[in-house]
Amino acid sequence: MLQYKSSMGRPKELTPKQMKFAELLVTNEGRMTATEAAKQAGYTEERARFTASELRNPNRYPLVVQYIGKLRQELQKKYEVTFENHIAELAKLRDEARAKGAWSAAGNMEIARGKAAGLYVEQKIIKHGRLEDMTEKELELKMKQIIDDHQGLLVEGDFEEITNETKNNRGDESAGKDISRPKDNSGTEERSEREVV
């Protein structure tokens, strides 16, 4: 039991209510407020909120605060994830699954143990093919494959013809400008130019 001497020289120790309050507070962290812990520890409902605040004040109740800290450390150590704990827990789960005849779960636990121990290495090979890295023959084969795969989407035509037609329509003066030909009401096309921003 924790003890300390007060300023008057008298030894003090935790009361059973204080110990219960600290234990409830730590073991139910996040699920129970300090006020609820005080009520369940046996403090009166009217003073539970005030008492809970007082008990967590290191100037007023240093022994309670120390005990709360000690309990938190013990809890963290108990649930600490280490390699040994992890492997042992997986083995325990595997054995329980095997005893119940859950072969798939048992197998998964054993694989998880193997992965944790580094027995399995997952490899992923991602290849990035860039056009610059291809030979002329590879490019021709790739283009043929694309044409074959998308035959229904492609339109037959001469590339040079389309390029020349585009150049003639735009002219040299249109560099950097967007040209559109809206139809007027008579059905003829008008050429309008506007700067591209």
Task: Report pLDDT digits (tens) over 59-112.
Answer: 999 999 999 999 999 888 887 777 887 888 888 889 999 999 999 988 888 888
d(Cα 29, Cα 192) in Å, to the nearest integer?
A: 72
d(Cα 34, Cα 50) in Å, to the nearest integer?
A: 10
- Most distant CA pair in the chain: distance in Å? 109
Q: Which helix (H) or strand (E) holds 193?
A: strand 192-195
* Residue 22 pLDDT exceeds 80: yes
Pairing state of beta strands 11-13 and 192-195?
unpaired
d(Cα 112, Cα 90) in Å, to the nearest integer?
A: 7
pLDDT at 121: 74
pLDDT at 191: 47
pLDDT at 10: 41
Torsion (CA) 172, 177, 178, 181 in degrees, nearest 10: -60
Contact 17, 43 (CB under 8 A): yes
d(Cα 165, Cα 168) in Å, to the nearest integer?
A: 5
* Residue 167 pLDDT exceeds 60: yes
Cα–Cα nearest to 55, from 11, 100, 23: 23
**Alpha-helix runs per DSSP H in 136-182:** 136-149, 159-170
Q: Using 50, 70 and 90 to split pLDDT, how confident is the model at 155?
A: low
Rounded average pLDDT over 6-23 = 75
Global confidence as pTM: 0.43
* Residue 1 pLDDT exceeds 70: no
